Chain A
Amino acid sequence: MAVDRADGRTPNQRRPVACTRGILHRAHGSASWAQGDTKVIAAVYGPKAGTRKNENPEKACIEVIWKPKTGQSGKPEREYEMVLKKTLQSICLLNVHPNTTTSIVIQVVNDDGALLPCAINAACAALVDAGIPLKHLAVAICCCMAEGGHILLDPSKIEEQKVKAFVYLVFPNSMVSVLPQGSLRLGGELMEHGIITSVTHGMMAVDDYFSCLKLGRAAAAELSDLLRSSLKLKAGNDPSKAG
Chain B
Amino acid sequence: MDQRQANSLIMTVNEKKFIESALLSDIRVDGRRPFDYRNLTIRFGSEDGSSEVQLGHTQVIGFVSAQLIQPYRDRPTEGTFAIYIEFSPMADPSFEAGRPGETAVELGQIVDRGLRESRAIDTESLCVVAGKLVWSIRIDLHIIDNGGNLVDAANIAALAALSTFRRPECTFGGEDGQEVIVNPPDLWEPLPLIIHHLPVAVTFGFIGKENNVVIDPTHYEEAVMGGSMTATLNTNGDICAIQKAGGDGVLQSVIMQCLRIASVKAGDITSKIKNAVEAYNTQRSLRKIKRHDPLPDEQGSIDVAKYHMERLTLGSDVSTAGHSNMEIGSQSNERDETNKKNTTAKGFSGRPASWDPYSRGVDGDALKASLASRVTAPPDKHIKSSRQVKADVAKSSQRSSDTNSFQEAKKIGLQTDESKTLKDAVKPRQKRRINKSTSNSAAT
Q: Which residues of A contact B (CB under 8 A)?
A: 6-9, 13, 15-27, 30, 32, 34, 36-37, 39, 41, 43, 45, 48-50, 65, 67, 69-71, 103, 105, 107, 109-110, 156, 158, 226, 229-231, 233-236
Contact = CB atoms under 8 A, between A and B. Distances in A.
A41 to B, nearest CB: 6
B312 A16 contact: yes
17 contacts: A6-B305, A7-B309, A8-B347, A16-B311, A22-B322, A23-B323, A23-B324, A24-B144, A26-B57, A32-B328, A36-B308, A37-B46, A48-B3, A65-B97, A107-B61, A110-B45, A230-B319
B315 interface: yes
A49 B6 contact: yes
Contacts of B385: none
Given A8-B312, A17-B317, A18-B318, A25 B147 contact: yes
Interface of B: 3, 6-7, 45-47, 50, 57, 59, 61, 63, 65, 84, 86, 88-93, 97, 138, 140, 142, 144-147, 301-302, 304-305, 308-309, 311-312, 315-328, 331-332, 347-348
A25 B323 contact: yes
B146 A7 contact: no
Contact of A67 (B59, B86, B321): B86
Nearest to A17: B317
A24 B88 CA distance: 12
B319 A226 contact: yes
Contact of B317 (A18, A30, A39, A43): A18
A7 B309 CA distance: 5
A41 B364 CA distance: 45
Nearest to A33: B328
B308 A235 contact: no
Contact of A9 (B7, B57, B65, B312): B312
Given A109-B61, A110-B46, A229-B319, A26 B93 contact: yes
Given A7-B312, A34-B328, A26 B61 contact: no
B147 to A, nearest CB: 6
Nearest to B219: A26
Nearest to B320: A20
Contact of A233 (B7, B84, B316, B320): B320
Nearest to A73: B97
A70 B140 contact: yes
Contact of A19 (B45, B90, B146, B319): B319
A48 B308 contact: no
Contacts of A109: 45, 50, 61
Contacts of B327: 18, 20
B88 A16 contact: no
Given A6-B301, A8-B309, A49-B6, A21 B89 contact: no
A22 B324 contact: yes
Nearest to A50: B3
A17 B144 CA distance: 22
Q: Which 6 pairs, one residue from A and one from B, show the smallest C-beta to C-beta distance?
A: A7-B308, A230-B319, A43-B90, A16-B315, A105-B90, A8-B309
A199 B45 CA distance: 29
A7 B304 contact: yes
Contacts of B323: 22-23, 25
Contact of A16 (B46, B57, B65, B318): B318
Which of A6, A50, A103, A236 counts the most chain B CB atoms within 10 A? A6
A167 B99 CA distance: 34
B145 A6 contact: no
Which of B89, B138, B302, B319 counts the most chain A CB atoms within 10 A? B319
Contacts of A18: 317-319, 327-328, 331-332
A17 B318 contact: yes
A109 B138 CA distance: 16
A180 B145 CA distance: 45
